[in-house]
């Protein structure tokens, strides 16, 4: 919700995940690349636990804006 375009290797300012095109269908797979040894599923768990995709990235994130919250 923070990125201008999907799969364009932008970094989310809210969680610091780099969008390499990984999505729900392969979220448990570790693909390497810009996100290293993190799967998307693990990054999501980390975000819920510590506010960033990885503990090392907490210093780079910001709180989501009101329009950046997913609707349920």
Query: CB within 8 A of 21, min separation 6: which ones?
Result: 6, 7
Per-residue burial over 22-54, b if 16 or more Cβ lie within 10 Å, else e, is beeeeeeeeeeeebeebbbebbeebbeeebbbb
> What is the full per-residue pLDDT of the chain (72 aa) written as tens digits?
899 999 999 999 999 999 999 999 999 999 999 999 999 999 999 999 999 999 999 999 999 999 997 765
**Confidence (pLDDT) at 69:** 79
**Two tokens, residue 63:** 């709180």
**Confidence (pLDDT) at 9:** 96
**Confidence (pLDDT) at 71:** 65
Do residues 54 and 38 lie in contact, with contact meaning Cβ atoms separated by under 8 Å?
A: yes
Query: CB within 8 A of 8, min separation 6: which ones?
Result: 19
């Amino acid at each position: 919700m923070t990125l201008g375009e999907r799969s364009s290797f932008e970094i989310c300012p809210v969680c610091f995940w780099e969008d390499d095109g990984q999505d729900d269908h392969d979220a448990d797979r570790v693909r390497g690349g810009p996100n290293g040894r993190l799967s998307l599923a693990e990054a999501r768990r980390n975000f819920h636990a510590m506010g960033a995709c990885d503990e090392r990235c907490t210093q780079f994130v910001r709180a989501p804006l009101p329009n950046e919250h997913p609707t349920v």
